[in-house]
Amino acid sequence: MELRVLQYFLAIAREQSIVHAAESLHLSQPTLSTQIKNLEKELGKQLFIRGGKGARRITLTEEGMILRKRAEEILDLVKKTETEISASDDVLIGDIYIGAGETDGIRLIARAAKQLQTQYPGIQFHISSGNAVFVRESLDKGLIDFGIVFGPVDMTKYHALKVPVNDTWGVLMRKDSPLAQKSAITRHDLWNEPLIVSQQESAGGQILQWLKRDPEKLHITATYNLIYNASLLVDEGMGYALGFDKLINTTGDSSLCFRPLDPPLETEMSVIWKKYQVFSKPVAKFISVLRESFSSTGEQTQS
């Protein structure tokens, strides 16, 4: 399977037309059609559903959708590798890829990134947001260099650098909600209220353990992957969202407010990277900058 043919395949998937894809690739239609037929023959699977007479649009089969995802990952990884290898020994340039969940702790990563970028303007940072599953899968596939994860780390697979701040759990609610009159929210306050929880936590995570109630007896009205979307559900009166502080602006004209939990609940976070991997020069440099920056922040926090 050639990289060139994968690029052809992605062009057709994007354009949903062999004619338009051939034009964008500056190939003849017969040449492109032959390349794709050979790819289907090589894989032993049909990748596209061709339209009938009068229907020029083509769509992906289930196998085609799988290949599209993998082809995008493969070509992204090839591009990343080419950039790392071609970097000059004298000039530090390149890309650093980070996967992270939603956390205010990303500010500390940003400070370190700014420090490195000020010294080496040729370095670019790329941030992808997602849950823990997304971050670890991307890290294991080599699609990102670092992951920011919450809670314990599998030290048999990853190196970890603890972020010197914790995320604080609480409840996002409308300012006109009954619980908004309280300075902190107890578990009993939430037992009979409509709750909006993260998809990861809904499977029995830290917050459900804190609630100390059978999940089947809780009134979970919705789950979320991104807290911003959850904040819209809260604003529309669907319930109380459980999440981290400082992610949604509740100041000024906002109709929302945030209240911490009582007893308090905090989550540690770490920057992780795969063991036994060969780093590009920008990635190796960033690790040292992170260590220095976190050490300085930790000392300030303790004083």
Asked whether the predicted pLDDT for residue 53 surpasses 80, the reply is no
pLDDT at 173: 98
| Distance separating alpha carbons of residues 83 and 94, to the nearest angstrom | 6
Of 41-55, 65-79, 221-235, 267-281, the one with minimum mean pLDDT is 41-55
Residue 54 pLDDT level (bands cut at 50, 70, 90) = very low
Token pair for 31: 């040449």
pTM tops 0.75:
no
Rg (CA), the chain: 24
Average pLDDT, the chain: 89
Q: Would you say 281 and 92 are in contact if contact means Cβ atoms under 8 Å apart?
A: yes
Q: What is the DSSP letter of 149?
A: E
pLDDT at 200: 80
Question: Hunting for tokens 């992951």 — which residue is that?
Answer: 147
Determine if residue 10 is left, alpha or beta; phi over 0 gives left, psi from -120 to 50 gives alpha, anything else beta: alpha
pLDDT at 19: 86
CA neighbor of 264 nearest in space, from 151, 166, 178: 166
What digits encode the pLDDT tens for the residues 209-247? 999 999 889 999 999 988 999 999 999 999 999 999 999
CA neighbor of 79 nearest in space, from 90, 95, 93, 92: 95
What digits encode the pLDDT tens for the residues 74-102? 888 888 777 767 655 556 788 999 999 88
CA neighbor of 233 nearest in space, from 194, 179, 176: 194
Mapped onto helix, strand or coil, the DSSP state of residue 246 is: coil
Percent of the chain with pLDDT over 90: 56
Q: Would you say 273 and 146 are in contact if contact means Cβ atoms under 8 Å apart?
A: yes
- How do strand 123-129 and strand 194-198 relate by DSSP bridges? unpaired
The residue-averaged pLDDT of 23-50 equals: 88
Give the residue with greater pLDDT, 4 vs 195.
195
Asked whether the predicted pLDDT for residue 69 surpasses 60, the reply is yes
CA neighbor of 174 nearest in space, from 92, 234, 263, 229: 234
The residue-averaged pLDDT of 161-181 equals: 96
What digits encode the pLDDT tens for the residues 117-152? 999 998 999 999 888 888 999 999 888 999 999 988
Give the residue with greater pLDDT, 51 vs 250.
250
Mapped onto helix, strand or coil, the DSSP state of residue 92 is: coil
| Distance separating alpha carbons of residues 162 and 150, to the nearest angstrom | 10
| Distance separating alpha carbons of residues 281 and 46, to the nearest angstrom | 42
pLDDT at 86: 66
